[in-house]
A and B are shown apart, each in its own frame.
Chain A
Amino acid sequence: MMSIDTAKLARKIRIHALKMTSSGKSSHIASALSIADILAVLYGKFLYIDPGKPDKSDRDRFILSKGHAGAAIYAVLAEVGFFRVEKLSTHYQDGSDLCGHVSHKGVPGVELSTGSLGHGLGIGSGMALAAKLSGKNHRVVVLLSDGECDEGSNWEAILFAAHHQLENLIVIIDYNKFQALTTVAETLNLEPFADKWASFGWVVREVNGHDLSAMEKMLFNLAEIKGAPKVIIAHTKKGKGVSFMEESVLWHYRSPQGEEFERALKELEG
């Protein structure tokens, strides 16, 4: 794979997501900004993929389980060449196949459609099990949100993946500490979060989810560890990159318009 400047890629993801949620008048810009750096490292460095052959059988599988951040995944897929960047302008428009929550139909590179939380990890576990049973070497990466971990179905999957020692499965949690109405701590506290995963038999790492080189290094190191599934708890800032959106529950819903859009764009374009 060609060398990609992940910082540039992350900035492009953020700018696309801002424009898409503005022109579509859609929600979840802060959730998309939160994962831009994670996606940049995955698609710029880690995942073995070929945008020209999206169905290649030995590709790594990536599942965005927090499907509400659809704008960010569409942006990165377009930027690395799965489809034309121009298509992004159709996001959330009548008749488009770029739904608010990520959908695979008509969108090359999208592995799985999600939107209802708590679905991606079980499916990713099934994909990882299939690879293990057939002796294939590709990896499965699932990106969860923190609030999503309220869903009991995740904990069923967490048991299952550890029991079956799915060492080809890596979970990344976008731990931005906010969910739909307020903070995670005030809703259903996840702490001690790392201990919970460790006690379920997972290999656990924590990282600054905006530190591109640290994440890249961690992913490649983790991929070498055998015998258990792995989780990276990525400490992130909701709304990262736009000062007035950071760590504010408002921008889970609010669509950037008018002067707010212009200010945000200016900050992102630096």
Chain B
Amino acid sequence: MTNPRIILLSGDLGFGVFNQYRKDCPSQFINAGIAEQNMTAVATGLALEGQTVLTYSIGNFNTLRCLEQIRNDVCYHNADVKIISVGGGFSYGALGISHHATEDLAIMRSLPNMSVISPCGLWETKMATDAILDTPGPFYLRLDKSFGTDNPLMSSEVFRIGRARVLREGTDVSILVTGGILEEVWQASEILINEGISVKIVSVHTLKPFDDALVTEIVSHTKNVVTVEEHTVIGGLGSAVAEALFDRGVCPKHFLKIGLEAGFSSIVGSQKYLRRHYGMDAQSISEKILNMF
């Protein structure tokens, strides 16, 4: 079933991606051109008239390029605009820093009325897409070119915005992860399990609204807490978890934020290569965690 209220605006990107959609809903697709400020403003205008509007682009183009339109227009008017960006972290690693989305979560998380979702796999991506279309108001959906295996532990599981998911049960260390870098975390957990360490993996797909109580409860059963994100360590998942735990007086024995510490990356590299280079591939993650014990 198609929803006639939905309009998808693309910033002249998504070659081939929308073929089926455009065939099914020709009047609900607009290529707004390479003009993200206007695309976001038009989206606001459409949304204020009752449409549910998606803006689509890659990397930082429909977030940072038009940040003030997102803040003043979308967020202040609480418009039903969903910002969909493909290319979280180093998804477009070899293209250079213009295409590295490594501060987006921190920046979008700080905006009033904005919800922020960063799925770690295909199941969450599908569920999150349905969920945000059913929930009025501004959303940022950060999509990644990579993905982990995020199938529910129990087939009855229901996806809820804001509700972190346990993907692996364990007792020695909790690894909280957001985005496709789950694939590295999963491999790291295999290495750790072979070393006799019991690992809990938690997907925190929603960075905002952040369920402080739930995250605190989930990690309170392990003494060690690690966060992993393909994003600066400033203001993203690691910061959100630290704030939640500290606010509730919970102090893990060890707390480690794994993410980008280098600032800008000026070297050429695939997503895999850059993760390894900046210490957030499976090997680096497992080594850092082994050093805790």
Which A residues are within 8 Å of any B CB, using their own CB? 104, 112-116, 118-119, 121-131, 133-134, 152-153, 156-157, 159-160
Asked if B133 lies at the interface with its beta carbon under 8 angstroms from chain A, I say no
Q: Is the CB of B51 within 8 A of A130?
A: yes
Q: Chain B 123-159, CB within 8 Å of chain A: the 1/0 string?
A: 0000000000000000000000000000000000000
Residues of chain B from 15 to 54 with CB closer than 8 A to chain A in the complex: 27, 32-33, 35, 37-38, 40-51
* 19 A/B residue pairs, CB under 8 Å, sorted by A: A104-B77, A113-B77, A116-B68, A116-B72, A118-B37, A119-B73, A123-B73, A125-B38, A125-B41, A125-B42, A126-B46, A127-B45, A130-B45, A153-B38, A153-B41, A156-B33, A156-B35, A160-B33, A160-B35
Q: Is the CB of A115 within 8 A of B72?
A: yes
* Other A-B pairs, 15, CB within 8 Å; known A131-B49, A160-B38: A113-B76, A114-B72, A115-B72, A116-B72, A122-B38, A122-B41, A122-B45, A125-B38, A126-B45, A127-B46, A128-B45, A130-B49, A153-B38, A159-B33, A160-B35
Q: Is the CB of A122 within 8 A of B72?
A: no
Contacts of A123 in B (CB 8 A): 41-42, 44-45, 48, 73
Contacts of A152 in B (CB 8 A): 37
Asked if B69 lies at the interface with its beta carbon under 8 angstroms from chain A, I say yes
Q: Is the CB of A122 within 8 A of B50?
A: no
Among B41, B43, B69, B77, the most chain A Cβ lie within 10 Å of the Cβ of: B41
Q: Chain B 74-115, CB within 8 Å of chain A: the 1/0 string?
A: 001100000000000000000000000000000000000000
State how many angstroms separate the Cβ of B186 from the closest Cβ of chain A.
42
Q: Is the CB of B27 within 8 A of A126?
A: no
Contacts of B37 in A (CB 8 A): 118, 122, 152-153, 156
- Cross-interface CB contact of B49 among A116, A118, A127, A156, cutoff 8 Å: A127
Contacts of B27 in A (CB 8 A): 133
State how many angstroms separate the Cβ of B175 from the closest Cβ of chain A.
41
Which chain B residue shows the least CB distance to A63? B45
Give the distance in Å from the alpha carbon of A114 to the alpha carbon of B43 in the complex: 16
Which chain B residue shows the least CB distance to A157? B38
Contacts of A129 in B (CB 8 A): 42, 45-46
- Cross-interface CB contact of B32 among A116, A119, A160, cutoff 8 Å: A160
Q: Is the CB of B35 within 8 A of A130?
A: no
Q: Is the CB of B45 within 8 A of A125?
A: yes
Contacts of A114 in B (CB 8 A): 72
Q: Given that A159-B35, A160-B35, A160-B38 are known contacts, is A124 also in contact with B45, CB under 8 Å in the complex?
A: yes
Give the distance in Å from the alpha carbon of A167 to the alpha carbon of B43 in the complex: 19
State how many angstroms separate the Cβ of A200 from the closest Cβ of chain B.
13
State how many angstroms separate the Cβ of B205 from the closest Cβ of chain A.
29
Q: Given that A116-B68, A153-B38 are known contacts, is A126 also in contact with B33, CB under 8 Å in the complex?
A: no
Give the distance in Å from the alpha carbon of A266 to the alpha carbon of B179 in the complex: 66
Q: Is the CB of A160 within 8 A of B42?
A: yes
State how many angstroms separate the Cβ of B232 from the closest Cβ of chain A.
26
Contacts of A126 in B (CB 8 A): 41-49
State how many angstroms separate the Cβ of A164 from the closest Cβ of chain B.
8
Contacts of A133 in B (CB 8 A): 7, 27
Contacts of A116 in B (CB 8 A): 68, 72
Which chain A residue shows the least CB distance to B45? A126
Which chain B residue shows the least CB distance to A127? B45
Contacts of A112 in B (CB 8 A): 48, 77
Give the distance in Å from the alpha carbon of A128 to the alpha carbon of B45 in the complex: 8
Q: Is the CB of A130 within 8 A of B41?
A: no
State how many angstroms separate the Cβ of B43 from the closest Cβ of chain A.
6
Contacts of B69 in A (CB 8 A): 119, 122, 153
Contacts of A156 in B (CB 8 A): 33, 35, 37-38
Give the distance in Å from the alpha carbon of A113 to the alpha carbon of B51 in the complex: 19
Give the distance in Å from the alpha carbon of A131 to the alpha carbon of B50 in the complex: 10
Q: Given that A130-B49, A130-B51, A160-B32 are known contacts, is A119 also in contact with B72, CB under 8 Å in the complex?
A: yes
Contacts of A127 in B (CB 8 A): 45-46, 48-49
State how many angstroms separate the Cβ of B81 from the closest Cβ of chain A.
10
Give the distance in Å from the alpha carbon of A128 to the alpha carbon of B35 in the complex: 18
Closest 5 CB pairs of A and B: A126-B45, A122-B41, A130-B49, A156-B38, A156-B35
- Cross-interface CB contact of A122 among B7, B42, B47, cutoff 8 Å: B42
Contacts of B73 in A (CB 8 A): 119, 122-123
Contacts of A130 in B (CB 8 A): 45-46, 49-51
State how many angstroms separate the Cβ of A88 from the closest Cβ of chain B.
23
Give the distance in Å from the alpha carbon of A240 to the alpha carbon of B45 in the complex: 32
Q: Chain B 3-19, CB within 8 Å of chain A: the 1/0 string?
A: 00001000000000000
Contacts of A131 in B (CB 8 A): 49
Contacts of A122 in B (CB 8 A): 37-38, 40-42, 44-45, 69, 73
